[in-house]
């Protein structure tokens, strides 16, 4: 049976589909004259980050948390942008150490107190490169569009900090079902971010980066002339959540899969899998899907209602499964599902050819 050497549940990545995804996004961005800054929060794997960089047209990688950036740096990855603001005073020394350890650290900032803390770091051996995080009307992080130019002026008071650019990431738009609606809303917000970028870079020549974007909005955002690079993450793996929305641009394959197995099938029309909520992250409206080869098998439905250890698989009562039968799933949401595992089994066809460590697993600080 499929990947029979693997215990279950296991995460696998199809190397052929994965490499096609890397090339497709690389060439798609390059066709618009843009660079990639792939986000490691999706895969949490230094080996994947290295392969993304080696594929070309990349200016670096992203990390969501300081601990993710530290783990990437410890594995030899440089040119890292931390995309979430860091404001806790007890983390400032860690920033200084990381800034000394790698040549290409950049961090996002969105508050004057954060700037004061960074500027007052006595252990800052060299200038720290920062990007202004602007709020795309999401309310999560970032400075309001109208307030960003004044915030740039505040940063300019501190020579220890170098303003490299502006970040505008509309995470709340990535899974809008309609491609047209998603593109229109992203274009509206990214144009506001572009106005900020144009205003700031006229006054501060070091401001040369306008970054943001996710896999879902990449086709629209690449069309904006001001965008310099895109922070796409899920494209290299993909999941059920992305399969549920319309797409324009390249068709990225579901390279990430989960191998599960039937542990009980004593009732007609349903069986119990060994992949419950401790193995597959719960995303309402986008449950895991059964896949055979590279085709989704709509005769099966996965439900979450069997709890932490168990997945509920529903099918036609005429169909028969047996204990130990392997079921291959497309996971609901790749990022947090990957965070539940220690490694990825790399497969080519039916053969497991390698294992990649998910080194950034649990790096939430």
Reported confidence tier of residue 356, pLDDT bands at 50, 70, 90 = very high
The pLDDT of residue 4 is above 90: no
The pLDDT of residue 140 is above 90: yes
* 75-117 pLDDT tens trace: 999 999 999 999 999 999 999 999 999 999 999 999 999 999 9
Report the pLDDT value the prediction gives residue 364, as an integer from 0 to 100.
Answer: 95
CA-to-CA distance for 256 and 10, rounded, in angstroms? 11
Q: Return the percentage of the chain with pLDDT > 70, whole number.
A: 99
The pLDDT of residue 5 is above 90: no
The pLDDT of residue 122 is above 90: no
Report the pLDDT value the prediction gives residue 294, as an integer from 0 to 100.
Answer: 84
* pTM > 0.85: yes or no: yes
Angstrom CA distances, 333 to 8, 46, 260, 339, 340, stand at 19, 20, 16, 11, 12
The pLDDT of residue 1 is above 80: no
Report the pLDDT value the prediction gives residue 3, as an integer from 0 to 100.
Answer: 60
The pLDDT of residue 138 is above 70: yes
Q: Return the percentage of the chain with pLDDT > 90, whole number.
A: 95
Report the pLDDT value the prediction gives residue 293, as an integer from 0 to 100.
Answer: 81
């Amino acid at each position: 049976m499929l990947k029979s050497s693997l215990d279950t549940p296991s995460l696998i990545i199809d190397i052929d589909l994965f490499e096609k995804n890397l090339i497709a996004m690389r060439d798609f961005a390059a066709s618009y004259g843009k660079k990639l800054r792939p986000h490691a929060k999706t895969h949490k794997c230094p080996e994947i980050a290295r392969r993304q960089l080696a594929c070309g047209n990349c200016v670096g990688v992203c990390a969501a948390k300081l601990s993710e950036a530290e783990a990437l740096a410890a594995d030899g990855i440089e040119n890292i942008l931390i995309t979430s603001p860091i404001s806790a005073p007890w983390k400032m020394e860690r920033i200084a150490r990381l800034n000394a350890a790698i040549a290409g650290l950049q961090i996002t900032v969105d508050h004057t107190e954060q700037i004061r803390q960074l500027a007052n770091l006595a252990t800052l051996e060299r200038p720290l490169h920062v990007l202004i995080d602007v709020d795309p009307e999401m309310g999560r992080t970032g400075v309001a569009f109208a307030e960003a130019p004044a915030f740039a002026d505040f940063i300019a008071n501190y020579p220890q900090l170098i303003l490299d650019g502006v970040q505008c990431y509309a995470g709340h738009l990535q899974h809008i079902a309609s491609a047209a609606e998603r593109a229109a809303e992203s274009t509206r917000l990214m144009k506001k971010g572009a106005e900020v970028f144009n205003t700031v870079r006229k006054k501060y020549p070091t401001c040369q980066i306008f970054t943001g974007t996710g896999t879902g909005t990449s086709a629209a955002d690449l069309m904006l002339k001001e965008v310099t690079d895109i922070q796409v993450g899920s494209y290299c793996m993909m999941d059920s959540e992305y399969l549920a929305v319309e797409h324009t641009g390249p068709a990225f394959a579901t390279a990430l899969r989960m191998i599960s197995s039937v542990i009980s099938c004593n009732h007609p029309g349903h069986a119990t899998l060994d992949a419950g909520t401790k193995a597959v992250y719960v995303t309402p409206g986008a449950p895991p899907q059964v896949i055979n080869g590279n085709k989704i098998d709509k005769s099966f439905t996965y439900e979450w209602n069997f709890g932490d250890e168990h997945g509920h698989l529903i099918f036609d009562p005429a169909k028969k499964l047996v204990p130990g039968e392997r079921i291959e799933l497309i996971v609901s949401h790749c990022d947090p599902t990957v965070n539940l595992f220690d490694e990825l089994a790399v497969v080519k066809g039916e053969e497991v050819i390698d294992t990649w460590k998910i080194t950034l697993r649990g790096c939430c600080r």
